[in-house]
Each structure stands twice: as C-alpha cells, then as structure tokens.
A and B are shown apart, each in its own frame.
Chain A
Amino acid sequence: MKRSKTAVLLLMSTAPLLLSACDRSESASREGLYTSVEACVAQTNDSATCKQAFDKAQKDAATTAPRFANREECEAKYGKEQCAERNDGANHSFFGPLMTGFFLSQMLRNGSPMSGFNSAPAFRDSNGGWQQPAPGGAGGVYRNGAGSAMVPINATADRAVTTSRSGFGRSGSSRGFGS
C-alpha cells in the first residue's frame, strides 16, 4: 500500500469523523532533564518510565556520545575526569564524555502520560552547558544521520525583554508566502 494506513487530526478537527480517528482530548508534552533516576521519579512519579529512559539513554550514550582521539581533547571540552575510553566494537578505541544526565520527553493526554517516550543521554560541558546528541542514525525517514554532532538542550525556557516586534513579515503578498 502506497498510502498512510490512517490519517489523524488532533487539533484541526472539530467533529468526530468516521475515517479519521479524531482525538480532541487536550494534549501536551512533558519533558525534563534529570541527573538521576531518583530526580526523575521525584518530578514525574513514574519510576518505571524513568528507569527505562535512563537505561535507554545509557545504552545510546555508548554510540552517540561525541568521540575524541585522545583524553586531552575530550577533557578540554568536558572537564577533568569526565571522559572515558570507549571501544566501537571493531577494536577502534576513542574517548568520550561520561553521561551526566538524561533527557525524557513524554506525550500527555488529559494530564496523563501516554505510552512511549523519547529519551536521550545528556552531557555537561566544562562551561556548565547541557548538550545532547543531534538526531540521526541511518535509516528511517532520514538517509544520513548527523553522526555525533551535539546540540544544546534548552530544557528551561529563557526570557528576555522584547524591545521591538514586526521586524519580519513586511514583504507584501496577497496570497501568503508558501509555494
């Protein structure tokens, strides 16, 4: 079959439909960055998910942590004694930072977590900033992974005083800007 098995609308639908399984219940997601399973449980009250998320993150850390040729380069970025020697399974060894936390995100429906979660290892660099591996990995909908590129985690929203608005959107069009 060359078409989607189903096509669901969560927010756009205003009435229950026969063909598209609409679900209009309030949905949101919960995410957090935790330094231990205990900290995760304290926040979420969900020890099973926290444990699974931790285990998965630790497993992923072995393959997705940034790789350095020697300990000095790794420690320059992640701090003293924050790096360990690893092996890629093909007798090729390298150095990578130790996992210092993990990231957990879950979809909520009516305030309760739905099944399934996303989790990822997190690493704290020597400046105190948290990072996680960029998305990737071969296969799926993307052909090439991003390797071990790291992206910052913004687990908490930052605020700043806005000094002006309307700096985008002035290029005139009668019909919109999509193409």
Chain B
Amino acid sequence: MRRVVLAERPDWRSKAAECGFGFHTIDDAPYWDESAYYAFSLREIEQDIEAPSEELHAMALDLLDGIVGNEQKLRQLAIPEPYWDWIAQSWRERQPHLYGRMDFGYDGSGPAKLYELNYDTPTSLYEAAFFQWQWLEDQLARRQLPAGSDQFNSIYESLVEAFGTIARGIARPFHFAAVRDSVEDQGTIAYLRDCALQAGIDCGSLAIEDIGISADGRFTDLDDRVIGCLFKLYPLEDMFRESFGQYLPRSGLQLIEPPWKALLSNKGILPLLWDAHRGHPNLLAAAFDDGDELPRGWVRKPLHSREGANIAMRLDDGRELRTDGPYREGPCIRQACHPLTGFDGNYPLIGSWIVGDRACGIGIREDRSLITQDSARFVPHAIVEETRGVLIA
C-alpha cells in the first residue's frame, strides 16, 4: 500500500457537475481529493481486506440470534425497551437489508483492524461506487496509471443486483428519505434511488421531515399515500427517540435498513464481537466502558457517535486526543488503541463496503489527524501490479 501523488484530471469538476456530484467541496473545503491515490497490490485487497470483511460480516450477523432475546445485551446496546420485540421480529423475519460499511485501520503491514461497523446510515457511497470508478477509467485512458490497473469496486453492480434480489420483498410505495438540507445525504439517496430504478423498482423520495402520520398510526407521504417501505438515511436511534418513533412498531412500515441493524450499527457490537472471538486478528480488544479514567493505549467511543465525534484517545505515550460533538451523554465502549499510520502526514481510513452480504469495494477517507472526522477527504485508490522495480533500483 502506497500513497502516490498524481495530477488531477483537468476536467473533473465539470464531470462532477454533469454527474450530480454536488458535494465534492463542502463548506469551501475540498472533500473529493484526487491529488493523490492509494495503490494496493491485489494480494493486499483480497487477503487483507476483502476476505476479512466477509468473515467479520458473517461473525456480526451470527451474533444477532444471541442478542435479540437477551435483555442484558439489549440494555448494554442501549436499545429502548419499546423497540425490543419489533427489532427481534425484524430479525426473525430476516427483513431485507441493503448495505453497510466497515472501517478499518490498515497500512499494508499486518492485519486490517476493525474500528467500527457503519451498518445503518453509511455515506461516501456515490463517491466510492461511481466517481472513484470514473476517476480510474479516466486516468487509465489518459495513461496516468500503469496499464492494467484495477480497483476494488464492484459496489455499483452489487447494489443493482441487491435491489433486484430484494425487489419482491419491498413493500410499495417505496420511498427514499434523508434530511432536507444535507447535500451529502441527499446525494447519497439520489444515487441509491438511481440504482433501485436500474433494478426495475419504482420508487420516490421525500425529506425525512415531510413524513406524516395518520390518525391510525400509519406513515404517509406528501400525497397522503401510506408508505410501504422507507429507505431512511437517518439513524434508527434518532428515530426511536423522536416524536414519531413510538408509532414505528405498529405502523406496518417496512424500513431499510431494517430495525435489526440497530444492533450492529452500534459500537456495543465491538465488545460483543471481541467476547465471542477473542484474539481474532482483525478485531481490537474492546469492552463496555465503566467510566473510569482511560488507561494508556485505549480509545473511548460513544455507542452512537458518528463522523468521529466525541472520541477520546489515550496513546501509548500518554498523550490524549479528544474530539467534541453532540454525543456527550450516553454509554460508551473502550477499544484498544491502534492508531492509523501516517502517509505524508495524512491518515487514511479504509471503508470496506458490504452490499447484501458481499464485500465489494473500498473507499478511503484521509484526515490530518488520527481521528477521522467530517473534515476527512475522499481519496481514490487503484490496484496496481506489484512493482519489481525494487530489484532494479
């Protein structure tokens, strides 16, 4: 794994505009960054990322039977009691799920280490599945990449295939929803909806704020139609505590991601995974936090923190890093500290995409600090033939 500096495509901004990529620059700061790329060997991709991703995904799903009926574990995961039966039923029925992203610390040496599962509302999907793919094709055509370069990225094909597979199980009308004012979240659901249409599924979209409720507790769209299935790019745990949440279990509304994803998109799954697979090479030691002082070499994370918010990291040398954010309350976990490796002062985090149950690609976000936050930039990657140049040099 190397970080390679490469000239940008001169026309990438106009291409972004043509392809609906409205958030390549956020608050005047670059988000899409093709001034460099990460080069991997095929072995690194297949053995160190793809295979462990599928294994960890299976391990996580295998925990669910033991969680849904276990009051102690549901409490550890801070799942509100009124939702227990609803979540359990969604798992027993194997209500269809679509996608998730695992975040790994990996630098090409040693096993990739799982930081967390983003299994409810993962973003950076469009840029990974589409714009990164187009970057590779363009740079190959411009001969800026070694001939035969490839990319770990069949995310698009997998999404269309997944929608096709679950099409029959999606209740209609089917809507995609995200908060109205987030360009990034709106861009993500626009892409997902594009893929669903390509799979032959008729679907609409609306702002999450526009969802209505009827007198008999059913959810409606702006035409007063009862929503059959809602893809919501909005955290389940936030829905639970908002005023309409109480209606969810008896509304008949189908959700994607389904309710059982609340058990996985929760940092509490990390100690449960560790307990079940202690010493697994891709797992970091983890435990539920008791509130005591954080020892050296540990990280504290809230169960539901997103975008690297409210993280406390105590490095081996005693230095402490903290990020602020909105998740000050609520339970936390601890995870053994495995700091990201710096590449020219940048710290890349590997996001490994799972669509359906298939590991099908990666997207890399790099930040200037050890904790990846919403300031991170998306940097493309390529699979490049392993160089034999070392021998010649």
By a beta-carbon cutoff of 8 Å, the part of chain A in contact with chain B is 1-5, 7-15, 17, 19-20, 27-31, 103, 105-107, 114, 116-118, 120, 132-136, 140-144, 146-147, 149, 151-152, 154-155, 157-173, 175-179
Chain A residue at minimum C-beta to C-beta distance from B216: A160
Please judge, given known A-B contacts A20-B134, A141-B162, A177-B179, whether A133 and B326 are in contact too, CB under 8 Å: no
Residue in A4, A136, A149 whose beta carbon sits within 8 Å of that of B156 in the complex:
A4
- Which DSSP category, helix, strand, loop or mixed, fits chain A's interface? loop
For this complex, 14 residue pairs linking A to B, each with C-beta atoms less than 8 Å apart, are A2-B151, A3-B133, A12-B194, A105-B200, A135-B166, A135-B167, A142-B162, A142-B165, A160-B224, A161-B224, A165-B212, A166-B210, A177-B182, A178-B306
Q: Does B355 contact A (CB under 8 A)?
A: yes
Q: Quote the shortest CB–CB distance from A4 to chain B (angstroms).
A: 4
Q: How far is the CA of A120 from the CA of B169 in the complex (A)?
A: 10
- Beta-carbon contact of A14 and B133 below 8 Å: no
- Beta-carbon contact of B243 and A167 below 8 Å: yes
- Beta-carbon contact of A2 and B45 below 8 Å: yes
Q: How far is the CA of A164 from the CA of B212 in the complex (A)?
A: 6
- Beta-carbon contact of B179 and A140 below 8 Å: no
Q: Quote the shortest CB–CB distance from A174 to chain B (angstroms).
A: 8
- Beta-carbon contact of B20 and A12 below 8 Å: yes
- Beta-carbon contact of B19 and A169 below 8 Å: no
- Beta-carbon contact of A157 and B153 below 8 Å: no
Q: Quote the shortest CB–CB distance from A105 to chain B (angstroms).
A: 6
Q: Does B190 contact A (CB under 8 A)?
A: yes
- Beta-carbon contact of B123 and A120 below 8 Å: no
- Which DSSP category, helix, strand, loop or mixed, fits chain B's interface? mixed
- Beta-carbon contact of B209 and A105 below 8 Å: no
**Chain B interface, number of residues (Cβ within 8 angstroms):** 100
- Beta-carbon contact of A135 and B243 below 8 Å: no
Please judge, given known A-B contacts A14-B18, A120-B168, A175-B307, whether A9 and B130 are in contact too, CB under 8 Å: yes
Q: Does B137 contact A (CB under 8 A)?
A: yes
Q: How far is the CA of A172 from the CA of B181 in the complex (A)?
A: 11
Q: Does B33 contact A (CB under 8 A)?
A: no
Q: Quote the shortest CB–CB distance from A71 to chain B (angstroms).
A: 25
Q: Mark B48-73, 1 if CB is under 8 A from A, else 0.
A: 00000000001000000000000000
Chain A residue at minimum C-beta to C-beta distance from B93: A149
Please judge, given known A-B contacts A31-B202, A167-B244, whether A17 and B15 are in contact too, CB under 8 Å: yes
Q: Quote the shortest CB–CB distance from A6 to chain B (angstroms).
A: 8
Q: Does B358 contact A (CB under 8 A)?
A: yes
Please judge, given known A-B contacts A4-B156, A140-B356, whether A118 and B167 are in contact too, CB under 8 Å: yes
Please judge, given known A-B contacts A141-B355, A162-B212, whether A5 and B224 are in contact too, CB under 8 Å: no
Please judge, given known A-B contacts A19-B137, A158-B226, whether A179 and B123 are in contact too, CB under 8 Å: yes
Please judge, given known A-B contacts A2-B153, A105-B200, whether A167 and B18 are in contact too, CB under 8 Å: no
A contact residues around B198 at 8 Å (CB): 8, 10
Q: How far is the CA of A151 from the CA of B170 in the complex (A)?
A: 9
- Beta-carbon contact of A11 and B166 below 8 Å: no
Q: Quote the shortest CB–CB distance from A108 to chain B (angstroms).
A: 9
Q: Mark B159-200, 1 if CB is under 8 A from A, else 0.
A: 001101111110111000011101111001011011001101
- Beta-carbon contact of A17 and B162 below 8 Å: no
- Beta-carbon contact of B152 and A3 below 8 Å: yes
Chain B residue at minimum C-beta to C-beta distance from A19: B137
Tell me the chain B residues, 95-146 only, with Cβ under 8 Å from chain A.
96, 118, 120-124, 129-130, 133-134, 136-138, 141
Residue in A7, A140, A167 whose beta carbon sits within 8 Å of that of B213 in the complex:
A167
A contact residues around B164 at 8 Å (CB): 118
Q: How far is the CA of A19 from the CA of B141 in the complex (A)?
A: 10
- Beta-carbon contact of B213 and A151 below 8 Å: no
Chain A residue at minimum C-beta to C-beta distance from B154: A4
Please judge, given known A-B contacts A2-B383, A165-B209, whether A140 and B123 are in contact too, CB under 8 Å: no
A contact residues around B337 at 8 Å (CB): none
Q: How far is the CA of A10 from the CA of B201 in the complex (A)?
A: 13
Q: Quote the shortest CB–CB distance from B117 to chain A (angstroms).
A: 10
Chain A residue at minimum C-beta to C-beta distance from B198: A10
Q: Quote the shortest CB–CB distance from B34 to chain A (angstroms).
A: 15
